[in-house]
Amino acid sequence: MKRKPLKFVVSLILVMMVSCGEPETVVTDIVHADGSVTKKIEMKNMENNFKIPNVQVPYDSTWIIRDSLEISEKGDTTYIRHAEKLFASVDEINNDYLTDSSNNEDITRRAEFRKKFKWFNTEYRFAEVIEKTMSYGYPVTNFLNEEELAWFYSPDKITSEKLNGPDSLKYKSFSDSIDKKIEKWTIRSLITDWIGEFTEITKGEARGDMATETLKKREDELFSIIEEGGEEFDSLWSNGLFIKEFIGEANANKYQAEIDSAGNIVSEHIWVDFSAYTQRIVMPGEIIGTNGFIDSTKTLSWPVHSDFFMTEPYIMYAESKIPNKWAWIVSGIFLLFVFAGIIFRIIKK
Amino acid sequence: MNSDEAKYDRVLDLLRKSRPVLDSKEEIEEKVIRIITQKQEKKEISSGVLDFLFGWVYVGWVRTGLVAASVILIIAFVYQQAVIIKRINNLNRQAIYIESQIITGRSLDSDAGYFYRLAGRKLQSGDKMISEKQVKQVIKSYNELEKKYKDLIKLIEDDPELMKYIEEKLIENNKKKFKL
């Protein structure tokens, strides 16, 4: 009887430990027409702890740092840190990502910039990309439709507003159905990733029941077992009982090391050490394309959660255009010239 | 023929016979020729400029080429603008407006937090920001007071009874102040 509350308290402490440490972070990339980018990081924390291993994005002493604080009516102090740096190009940002020692150092991030001259306009594309963590997982688009995908990628603020709004029941059932699909997607991806990693470790030399094709064919079976097994699956897997039952004792013994290695790799892919943050992008000129959300300051915004880049790269992109006024003038003069010439010829005739 | 008509004919004859004597007949001729030639030149120049500007209209392949380039330019412009408008319309449909997630705040010195904790009481600031200037002023005043009453503070700290008395008085004062 005493164990349950103790477990609860420990869990609560663990949750608090995790959630108290990291600041609430908003990263803003202000993209300039020449390809340079001003990166701004705004961090908010209950503790005055903005050490790099505690923050979601890399920054260092070369950044311009400003500290401030807010005091609530209750007397709670919130510490705020603003860090800002001008990067000459995305290559410099990518160099920072390569030497990343932040809290999210385990993930691979990069920035992309493209400038296209299209005579009347110059088009710009900037993207912050987070590479996928799983090598063989299924894309989430195989499991969710367009509407569900929109919900999945929505900022928490939007989903929680809907869940607590007037149509809360409708949205609750919608959210639950998405959660089930997400669970299915995660397990399916986990299985296919394990098969893929196992094949890679054995260099495809495993034969019989452990051959890639055979394992792939048994994917549905494996999925049903895991889904039905629920919480018990973890203990069955860790005891090695599940795998012995599934592929036979002889195979389990023969490929024990490879099975465990593949299992460890998949665990690392699933349990990525990652802290969520918000990414914002400000583009030069007029926005003509994006997959982000527009906030009240007309800035593009994306939530960044670990689910988003589990099986596919998470590309947060924005496209904009700046009209080339000189090209419009030159084109106008040229058209006038040709038009006048044609009229001149008609008159001369 | 009446007398008036006769008079008119006589005057006309007289005028015809009395022609003006020209000193430099050739010079006048030259002048007249020059004026006429200049007029012709002007006409030639203006038509020459036009011919130079629009001479290409008489060259078939140049004419076709320039007209084709104009048409391509117009098509490119219309196509590009149509694509952009379509993309902007799609963007307007897909855009979801969310509340800004900018974290506000102004620069404060790190000792501002220390001062607040030192004060040990609730500052009536609510969620509003204390401006940097205000905090600096408060810290400055606090430091000045601390310096000014350094001896008095030392005296109080050295005497536990006096310290206790002062603390009690301060608490009492605070209670009155905050109507507790």
CB-based contact A293 B97, cutoff 8 Å: yes
Please list every residue in chain B whose beta carbon sits closer than 8 Å to the beta carbon of residue A67. Answer: 107-108, 110
User: Could you tell me if A200 and A222 lie in one domain?
Assistant: yes
Q: pLDDT, tens digit, for every residue of A54-71?
A: 899 999 999 999 999 888
What single string gives the DSSP state of each residue in A71-96?
A: E-TT--EEEEEEEEEEESSHHHHHHH
Query: Domain for residue A342, yes or no?
Result: no
- What pLDDT score was predicted for residue A289? 92
Q: Lowest-confidence range among A168-172, A201-205, A312-316?
A: A201-205
In terms of domains, do A59 and A115 share one?
A: yes
Instruction: Give the residue among A335, A345, A118, A343 at the shortest CA–CA distance from B68.
Output: A335
Check if A323 contacts B (Cβ < 8 Å): no
What average pLDDT does the segment A13-37 reach? 76
Same domain, A93 and A189: no
Which among A158, A321, A341 is the nearest to B54, CB-wise? A341
pLDDT at A64: 94
E strand map for chain A: 24-31, 37-45, 64-71, 77-87, 109-118, 121-130, 277-282, 286-290, 293-295, 300-304, 314-323
Whether residues A281 and A264 fall in one domain: no
**Considering only A89-93, A192-196, A318-322, which range has the smallest mean pLDDT?**
A192-196
Contacts with A48 from chain B: Cβ below 8 Å: 110, 113
In a shared domain, residues A67 and A96: yes
User: Could you tell me if A290 lies within 8 Å of chain B, comparing CB atoms?
Assistant: yes
The band of A16, judged by pLDDT with boundaries at 50, 70 and 90, is very low
- Is residue A14 included in any domain, yes or no? no
In chain A, which among 110-139 make CB contacts under 8 A with chain B?
Answer: 118-121
My answer on whether A127 and A50 are in the same domain is yes
Q: B101 and A73: CB-CB below 8 Å?
A: no
pLDDT in tens, chain B (180 residues): 578 889 999 998 888 888 777 777 788 888 888 888 887 777 777 777 887 888 888 888 989 999 999 999 999 999 999 999 999 888 876 655 555 554 444 333 333 333 333 333 333 333 445 555 666 677 777 777 777 777 787 788 788 888 888 877 777 776 665 444
Burial A119-157 (b: 16+ CB within 10 A, else e): ebbbbbbbbbbbebbbebbbebeebbeeebeebbbbbee
Work out the widest C-alpha separation in chain A, in whole angstroms: 108
Lowest mean pLDDT among A2-6, A43-47, A299-303: A2-6
CB-CB neighbors (< 8 A) of B69 in chain A = 334, 338
pLDDT given at position B130: 57
Verify that A312 and A253 share a domain, yes or no. no
Q: Do B76 and A342 touch (CB under 8 A)?
A: no
Sketch the domain layout of chain B as residue ranges: 25-91, 131-180
- Note whether A34 and A107 are same-domain residues: yes
Q: In chain A, positions 10-39, which contact chain B (CB-CB < 8 Å)?
A: 24, 26
Residue A14 has pLDDT above 50, yes or no: no
Whether the pLDDT of residue A139 is over 90: the answer is yes
- Shortest CA gap B179–chain A (Å): 17
Q: What is the pLDDT of residue B95?
A: 56
How many angstroms away from the CA of A98 is the closest CA of chain B? 27
Smallest Cα distance from B104 to chain A, Å: 8
Does one domain contain both A105 and A71? yes
Number of domains in chain A: 2
Classify residue B106 by its DSSP letter.
Answer: -
Q: Same domain for A249 and A283?
A: no
Provide, rounded to the nearest whole percent, the portion of chain A with pLDDT above 90. 50
Q: What does the pLDDT read at residue B84?
A: 93
- Mean pLDDT calculated for residue range A117-142: 94
- Residue ending a domain, among A237, A270, A303, is A270
Q: How far is A127 from chain B (nearest CA, A)?
A: 17
* CB A129, CB A319: distance < 8 Å: no
In A, which residues are within 8 Å of B56 by CB distance?
341
Tell me: the pLDDT tens digits for A246-269? 777 788 788 888 888 888 888 888
> Residue A24, SS3?
strand
The predicted structure's pLDDT at residue B52: 80
Among B74, B101, B126, beta carbon nearest to A26:
B101
Range of the domain at A115: 23-133+273-326
Do A125 and A76 lie in one domain? The reply is yes
Quick one: pLDDT at residue B164?
Answer: 81
Q: Are residues A71 and A27 in the same domain?
A: yes
Q: Is residue A28 part of a domain?
A: yes
